[in-house]
Amino acid sequence: MSDTSLTPRTGTIAPNPPRRALALHRELQSVWANDRGLWGQMTAVSHTTLGLRFMATAIIFFAIGGILSMLIRAQLASHQGAFLDTELYNQIFTMHGSIMMFLFAIPMLEGLAIWLLPKMLGTRDMAFPRLTALGYWCYLFGGLIMLTALLFGVAPRDGWFMYTPLSSAAYSPGINADVWLLGVTFVEISAIAAAVEITVTILRQRAPGMKLTQMPLFAWYMLGTSAMMLVGFPPLIAGSVLLEIERAFDWPFFDPARGGDPLLWQHLFWLFGHPEVYIIFLPAAGVMSMMIPVLCRTTILGYGAIVAAILGLVFLSFGLWVHHMFTVGIPHMALAFFSAASVLVAVPTAVQVFAWIGTMWKGSPQLHLPMYHILGFFLTFVMGGLTGVMLAIVPFNWQAHDTAFVTAHLHYVLIGGFVFPMMAAATYWMPLITGRRRVKGLGEAAFWVILIGFHGTFFIMHLTGLMGMPRRIDVYPDNPEWVWLNLTSSIFSFVLTIGFAMFVLDLILQATLGKRESRNPWRAPTFDWAMPIPSPNYNFASLPTARHLDRDADEVILPLARGEGILPGAPNGRRELLVTRVGDAQPDHVGVLPGNTALPLALSASIGVFVLLMLASLYALAGIALVPVAVLIWVWVRGMAPGDNLASVAVTPGLRLPVHHHARASLGQSGLVAFLVANGTLFASLLFGLAFVSVVTPGPEAPISTFTPRTTAIALGLVTLAVGLASACVAWSGRHGAAMLALLLNLGALVVLVWMAATQLDDPTRHARDALRAVMAGYVGLHLLVAAGMAAFALDQFRRGEITVDVTGAWPALRLWQRYTSVTTLVTIGVLTAQAVMS
Amino acid sequence: MRGGVLIAPVALIGCSGPLSTLQPGGATATEIAWLWWVMLAGAVALTMMMVVLIAMAFGAPRDTGARVWTHGMGLAFSLVVLSATLGAGLWVGERILPRDDGAVEVRARAFQWGWRFTHTDSDGNPVETDGLLHIPAGQPVDVLITSEDVIHSFWVPRLAGKLDAIPGRTNRARISADAPGTYAGLCAEFCGLGHARMRFDVQAHDTWPPALPDESEAP
Amino acid sequence: MRWLGLVLLGPALWAVVFSLVYGLHGTLCATASGPEDLGRAARLALVGAWLLGIAAFLPVFALIPERSGQAANLPRIGLWIGLVATLFTLFPVTVTTSC
Ligand code: HEM
Ligand SMILES: [Cu+2]
Ligand SMILES: [Cu+2]
C-alpha cells in the first residue's frame, strides 16, 4: 500500500478497441442527459447542469448584493444620509454582507468545484449526484427566504456576524434574526453536502493511476477547501442552533445574566468566519494555479511547494480566529498567539504568489483576457494581503478595527482574491461552457472599468477609516471632514457597478452571439479540455487514465471520444463510472450512480417547510414537519439499494471490476466518513461551549444541580451499557439478529435518556451550563434515534433479502454510525459525570 | 512633543480631524500612529516590488530556478519581513498595556445609546457624568469599561485604540492625553439603531480632580 | 490513505499543541484573581507546555523518513510546517504579559 511509489501500474491497463464516436455519444446521451423541459430541470442531478446553475444563481445573488451596496454607497455619499432610515439601512448592510458571503461566494465556489472537478479528474459526475441537487435546492430556498424577508422589511439587521446580545430575543425582537439563523443554516446544508462530495470525489474518482501528487493543483486546492468546510462550518451551525434555541425557548447560552457568554458566540462565529475567508480564497487560488501556466505556455513552478502551502494554510487558518476579537479584552499573551499565527499565515500565501510570479518568469505570459483579470488579482490581492498583515498587528488593530479601514481591507481580499480570479476563470472556461468564442473588445473594457472603479471606491476607504469613520453607520452629521472621502468612494462605486454589468453583458454576448470555438482553445494539458465543447453531461465517452496526463489535451480528445479509454459508453443502460483507491488511484470498482429524480427537490422542500414553521414560531408543527423529512430520507436511501444483479462489469478487455454493492469500500462509505468528520466537529463545538461557560465566563455560578445521584448513576449506567452492547453486536455479526438487537438497544437507551432528561436534568432555562447539558443530551438522543432508524433499515434489507454473503447493504454504514454514536454518548456521559463530581 | 512631529506632515495631506488616528493626542495613540506610518512605508515598498516583478515577467521565457521563488522569496524573505513586523507590534503592544502602576481609574458604562462615566472627586466620592468623560492630562488613565445591554466599544481615536464594552465583563483600557482639551469619542461596535449617534467627549484637565460646575451631581 | 494521514500529522500536532497551550493560558487567567501577570509558576507551566510541544515533534521526525522529491516528501515537509508554526505562534509565552 505504498502510495508514493512511482511505478505507473496503470500502464498495464489495456486500451479498449476504438468505436464510432457518434454512436458512443448517442448511447451515453440517452443515459446521462437530463429529462426534457422544465421538469427535466427539476429532476436534473448532473454535475454539469447543477454546477452551472449554482454559479448562475450565485451571480444573480451577486447582482442583488451589488444593488444593496449601491444603496449603502448612495446613503453614505453625504453626511446627512440621503434617503434610508436607520432600520432599513441596518437591514441593507447586513443583507449585503450575508448575501455576498453565504449566497454568492460560497455557492459560487461550490458550483465551480462541482462543475469542474469531475472534468479535471477524468470522471463523469460527482460522487453523490442527488446530494448535489439537494444542495442546490437548499441553497435556493434558503436564499429565497432571506430575500423575501428583505422585501417585507423583516430582514436580519444585526450585521453579518450577528453578535449577541444584540441578536438575542431581548434586543432583537421579531423574526429578523431568525431569518438569518434559519436561512443561513438551511444554506449551510448545501455547504456540508458539497464538502462531503467534493472530498469523496477527489479521493475516490481520480483517473486510474493519477496519484495524489499528480493531481492538477485545483484538485489539491479543493481537497483543502472541502476539508476546511467540513471542519469550519460546524461551529457556525452549532452557534446558530444554540442562538435559535435561545431565541425560541429562552435557553440562556449567551445571556450574561444567567451564566451565558456573548463571547461564546463570537468564538463560534469566528471559528467558522476566519476559515471561511480561506475557504473562499483557496478555490480562487486553485484556478490561478491552473490558468497561469497555460496562459504563460509553460508548467507550474514549485508544485510541491504549493501543495505544502495549501497544507499549511488549511491548518493555520484555524488558528487565527481571535484576530477578529482583538478588542474584546483578551489578555495580551493570547492576542500575541493569534497575532503571530495571523502573520505566519501570510507565509504560505506568499509562497503561492511567488510561485505564480516565478511561473510567469519561466514562461511567456500572453495577454489574453483571463490574464488581465489575473493581473488585477495580483495588484488587488497583494494590497489586501498587506493591509491584512497590518490588521494582524495588535496595537494597530485596536485603532483600525470596526472602521472603514477594515471594510476596505475585506473588499480588497474578497474582490481581489475571489472576484477577480472568478472573472478570470469565467473568461477562461466560457468556451467549454458555451462552445463559443468571445466577442472582442468589451471584455477588456469591462476589466479596466472594474479595476478603476474598484480602487477608486475602496482605496481611500483606508484613509476614511484611519480618520475615524466606524463601519455600519448611516449618517455622520458631525464629521464634514469625511464627506469628500465618502463622496469619492460613492462615485467610483457606480463606475465599479457599470464595470460588472459590462462583464456580465460580455458573458451573455459570448453565450448568444459568439462564433463556434474549436476544441481546447488554450491548448491546455488538462482533462477538462479533453472533451467536446460545450461539454456533454457525461464528460468523457471513455475515461482517461494517468497515461493521458500532461499531454496536450488535443492528443487525448479523439482516442477518448472513440472509446479507447476505460469504461466506454453506457452498455448497461445506467450511469457508470470508475471508483479508484485513495492513495494510488488503482481501479477498485464500478460505481453506479442514480439517474434523474425529483427526490432532492422534494426533500429540500420538506426541509424548507420545517424552516418556515420554525420562523412562524409554530414549534409543535415544525416537529411534525420532520416526519416527511425522515420518510424522504428513508426513500432516498432505499434508492441506493442494489436494483439488478449485474455483479461485475468489464472496464477494459482484460479487467472486470465488481459493481459497488459488492465492493468493500463504496463511495457511500467514504461519504459517511467525511460527514462524521463534520459531525464530530459539531460535537466538539458543543463541548467547547460547555468548557467555555464553565471555565472562562465570569457570570454567576450555576445553581446546585437537583438530580438524585443514585437514580442518575443507574440511568447513565444503563445508557452506557446499551450503546456499548449495540456497538459490540453490530461489530460482532452481520446477521439479522444483530440488527434486531441493535434496534432494541438503541431504542432502549433513547427511552432511558428521555426519561432522565425529563426527570433528572435541571431546567435548561435557569443557567447556560444546564442549557448546554440539555443540548448535549439532545445531541446524543438524536444520534440514538438515527442509529435505531438505521438498524430498522438494515432489518428491512434483510427481510427483502438484499443483504447477502457478499452484498453488505446498509450494514457498514450502520456499524460506523453506531460506533460514532457510542463514542459521543460515552464522551458526553463522561464529561457530565466529571463535571458533577468536581463541583 | 513627539506627537507634533506627526501632526505637521499629516495636516498637510488632510488626515487631520477630531477623530483621526493620524493626529494623535497622547502617548498611546502616537505609538500606534508611528507603527502605521512604518507599516505603510513597508507596504508601499512591497507593492512596488511586486508590480516590478510582475512587469518583468512579460517577455521572453527565462530560465529561473523554482527554489529562488518558493524558498527564497516565499519563505525566507516573507518570514523575515513578517517577523520584524510582528516583533514591532508586540513591543508596542507591551508598552501601551495597562499596568498595575496606580494610574487614575475612571469608569465607563455603555448603554443603548449613550455613555455614563464616573470619576472620583477630591473627597473620594464618585462623580457621574453623561456623555462627557473627565480625565487628567499628561498621565495615563485607566478606563474600566462595561455595558448594560448589548456590546458597544469605547474609542477615542486620538488617545488610544478601542476596547469593547461587554455586558457581564469589565475591560480595562489605558488612554492618555498629552495636553488639556476635548477629544472626541464614539461607539465603534455596531449596537443597533442609535449606533451612529453614540458619541461622547473626553475632557482632559490640567488639575486633577477637576473642579466641575454643578451640572455633575454625586449620586 | 496512510500517506495522506502522515501528511496531516505535522500540522495536526501543531493544532493540538496550540489548542492545549491556549486552553491552559485561558484557564490560568480565568482562575487568576488580579489583572496583569500570573506569576512565575504559571509562566513556567506555559513555557514548559510549549517546550514539551516542541519536543513532541522530535520522535515524529524519526518516524517519518526523508524522501526525495518535494511531493513525495510532503509528510516530512508537513512536520516542518508544524514545528515552525509551533515555534512561531507560541513563542509569546516567553515574552508577553500573561493576563
Ligand atoms: C460590488 C461592489 C461592492 C461594493 C460597492 C461594496 C460596498 C460595501 C460597503 C460600503 C460596505 C460597508 C458598509 C458599512 O459597514 O459601513 C460593505 C460591507 C460588506 N461587504 Fe461589500 N461591497 C461590494 C462587494 C462585496 C463583495 C463581492 C463581498 C464579498 C464577497 C462583500 C462583502 C461585504 C461584507 C462581508 C461586508 C460587511 C457587512 C457588515 O458589516 O455586516 N462586498 N460593502
Ligand atoms: Cu480572519
Ligand atoms: Cu455602537
Output the pLDDT for position A639: 83
Output the pLDDT for position A459: 97
Output the pLDDT for position B1: 40
Among A84, A92, A100, the mutation site with the greatest number of ligand 1 atoms within 8 A of its Cβ is A100
The yes-or-no verdict on residue A178 having pLDDT over 90 is: yes
The yes-or-no verdict on residue B215 having pLDDT over 70 is: no
8 Å CB contact of B99 and C92:
no
C97 to A374, C30, C33: CA distances (angstroms): 44, 15, 15
Q: Is residue B219 part of a domain?
A: no
Cα–Cα distance, B32 to B155 (Å, whole number): 14
Taking alpha carbons only, the member of A505, A497, A499 closest to residue A69 is A497
Whether residue B157 is found in the same domain as residue B140: yes
Which grid coordinates are listed for B35? 507603527
Give the binding-site residues of ligand 1, using a 6 Å CB cut-off: A 66, 69, 72-73, 93-94, 96-97, 100-101, 104-105, 159-160, 407, 410-411, 414-415, 419, 457, 471-472, 493, 496
Q: Is residue A701 part of a domain?
A: no
Instruction: Choose between A221 and B4: higher pLDDT.
Output: A221
Instruction: Give the end of a domain, one of B73, B95, B117.
Output: B95
Provide the pLDDT confidence category of residue C70 given band limits of 50, 70 and 90. low
Q: Tell me: the pLDDT tens digits for A531-549?
A: 998 999 999 999 999 888 8
Residues with CB under 5 A from ligand 2 (ion): A 274
Whether residue B127 is found in the same domain as residue B83: no
Whether residue B82 is found in the same domain as residue B170: no
Three-state secondary structure string covering C3-72 = HHHHHHHHHHHHHHHHHHHHHHHHHHHHHCCCCCCCCHHHHHHHHHHHHHHHHCHHHHHHHCCCCCCCCC
Q: Is residue B120 part of a domain?
A: yes
Percent of chain A past pLDDT 70, that is, above it, reads 98
Say yes or no: C85 contacts chain A, CB-CB below 8 A.
yes
Residues 6+ apart with CB under 8 A from A732: A738
Provide the pLDDT confidence category of residue A467 given band limits of 50, 70 and 90. very high
Query: Whose alpha carbon is nearest atom 4 of ligand 1?
Result: A69
Output the pLDDT for position C33: 60
Whether residue B124 is found in the same domain as residue B207: yes
Among A160, A269, A411, the mutation site with the greatest number of ligand 1 atoms within 8 A of its Cβ is A411
The CATH number that applies at residue B129 is: 2.60.40.420
Q: Is residue A73 part of a domain?
A: yes
Q: How far is C77 from chain A (nearest CA, A)?
A: 7
Q: Is residue B9 part of a domain?
A: no
How far is Cα of residue B68 from the mean position of the Cα atoms in its chain? 39
Say yes or no: A508 contacts chain B, CB-CB below 8 A.
no
Whether residue B114 is found in the same domain as residue B191: yes
Provide the pLDDT confidence category of residue A835 given band limits of 50, 70 and 90. confident
Query: Which residue intervals of A616-735 are DSSP H helices?
Result: 619-638, 667-695, 709-732
Tally of domains within chain B:
2
Query: Do B134 and B117 form a contact (C-beta atoms < 8 A)?
Result: yes
8 Å CB contact of A315 and C97:
no
Query: Do B210 and B134 form a contact (C-beta atoms < 8 A)?
Result: yes
The yes-or-no verdict on residue A183 having pLDDT over 90 is: yes
Q: Is residue B3 part of a domain?
A: no
Instruction: Give the end of a domain, one of A468, A489, A513.
Output: A513
Ligand 2 centroid distance, CA of A403 (Å): 15
- Residue range A300-314: mean pLDDT, rounded: 95
Cα–Cα distance, A96 to A645 (Å, whole number): 53
8 Å CB contact of B56 and A361:
yes
Residue B55 CB burial class (10 angstroms; 0-12, 13-18, ≥19): exposed
Instruction: Choose between C95 and A243: higher pLDDT.
Output: A243
Query: Do A10 and A545 form a contact (C-beta atoms < 8 A)?
Result: yes
Output the pLDDT for position A700: 85
Cα–Cα distance, A18 to A565 (Å, whole number): 9
Instruction: Give the end of a domain, one of B95, B125, B159.
Output: B95
Provide the pLDDT confidence category of residue B174 given band limits of 50, 70 and 90. very high
B136 DSSP β-pair partners:
B205
8 Å CB contact of A159 and B92:
no
Output the pLDDT for position B218: 44
Q: Tell me: the pLDDT tens digits for A329-360?
A: 999 999 999 999 999 999 999 999 999 999 99
The CATH number that applies at residue A433 is: 1.20.210.10
Torsion of CA A583, A585, A588, A593, to 10 degrees: 110
**Torsions phi, psi for B173 (to 5 deg):** -115, 145
Amino acid at A537: N
Three-state secondary structure string covering A484-544 = HHHHHHHHHHHHHHHHHHHHHHHHHHHHHHCCECCCCCCCCCCHHHCCCCCCCCCCCCCEC
Output the pLDDT for position A782: 96
8 Å CB contact of B35 and A347:
no
Whether residue B37 is found in the same domain as residue B77: yes
Domain boundaries, position B42: 18-95
Pairing of strands B152-155, B163-165: antiparallel
- Residue range C54-80: mean pLDDT, rounded: 86
Amino acid at B33: A
Output the pLDDT for position A703: 85
Query: Do A769 and A704 form a contact (C-beta atoms < 8 A)?
Result: no
Q: Is residue B171 part of a domain?
A: yes
Domain boundaries, position A254: 50-513
- Residue range A281-303: mean pLDDT, rounded: 96
Taking alpha carbons only, the member of A649, A648, A650, A652 closest to residue A566 is A652
Cα–Cα distance, A771 to A750 (Å, whole number): 19
Query: Do A606 and A619 form a contact (C-beta atoms < 8 A)?
Result: no
Q: Tell me: the pLDDT tens digits for A670-718?
A: 999 999 999 999 999 999 999 999 888 888 888 888 888 888 889 999 9
Whether residue B56 is found in the same domain as residue B83: yes
Whether residue B121 is found in the same domain as residue B155: yes
Output the pLDDT for position A661: 83
Output the pLDDT for position A204: 96
Instruction: Give the end of a domain, one of A469, A498, A513.
Output: A513
Percent of chain A past pLDDT 90, that is, above it, reads 82
The yes-or-no verdict on residue A452 having pLDDT over 90 is: yes
Instruction: Give the strands of the sheet with B171-176, arranged side by side.
Output: B126-130, B114-120, B104-111, B140-147, B171-176
Q: Tell me: the pLDDT tens digits for C5-57?
A: 899 999 999 999 999 999 999 888 887 765 556 778 888 999 999 999 999 99
A653 to A504, A544, A580, A701: CA distances (angstroms): 48, 15, 18, 72
Amino acid at B70: T
Q: Is residue A413 part of a domain?
A: yes
Taking alpha carbons only, the member of C64, C27, C63, C57 closest to residue C42 is C27
Cα–Cα distance, A248 to A268 (Å, whole number): 19
Candidates B50, B57, B164; nearest CB to A365: B57
The interface predicted TM-score of the complex, written ipTM, equals: 0.95
Candidates A166, A328, A393; nearest CB to B191: A166
Output the pLDDT for position A305: 94
- Planar angle of CA A89, A137, A36, nearest 5 degrees: 130
Tally of domains within chain A:
2
Q: Is residue A7 part of a domain?
A: no
Neighbouring C-beta atoms of residue B144, cutoff 10 Å: 15
Cα–Cα distance, A754 to A771 (Å, whole number): 15
Ligand 2 centroid distance, CA of A49 (Å): 34
The yes-or-no verdict on residue B48 having pLDDT over 90 is: yes
Query: Do A75 and A84 form a contact (C-beta atoms < 8 A)?
Result: yes
Provide the pLDDT confidence category of residue A663 given band limits of 50, 70 and 90. confident
Candidates C35, C88, C96; nearest CB to B100: C35
Cα–Cα distance, A351 to A217 (Å, whole number): 14
Ligand 3 centroid distance, CA of B191 (Å): 4
A228 DSSP β-pair partners:
none
Q: Tell me: the pLDDT tens digits for A498-528?
A: 999 999 999 999 999 999 988 889 999 999 9
Q: Is residue B10 part of a domain?
A: no
Instruction: Give the end of a domain, one of B49, B71, B95.
Output: B95
Q: What's this model's pTM, rounded to 2 decimal places?
A: 0.95
Instruction: Give the end of a domain, one of A491, A513, A535.
Output: A513
Cα–Cα distance, A722 to A781 (Å, whole number): 13
Q: Is residue B1 part of a domain?
A: no
Whether residue B31 is found in the same domain as residue B114: no
Cα–Cα distance, A66 to A497 (Å, whole number): 7
Mean pLDDT of chain A: 93
Whether residue B132 is found in the same domain as residue B205: yes
Which grid coordinates are listed for A30? 440517452
Whether residue B121 is found in the same domain as residue B185: yes
Whether residue B118 is found in the same domain as residue B185: yes
Cα–Cα distance, B192 to A85 (Å, whole number): 13
Q: Tell me: the pLDDT tens digits for A540-592?
A: 999 999 888 878 777 889 999 999 999 999 988 899 999 999 988 999 999 99
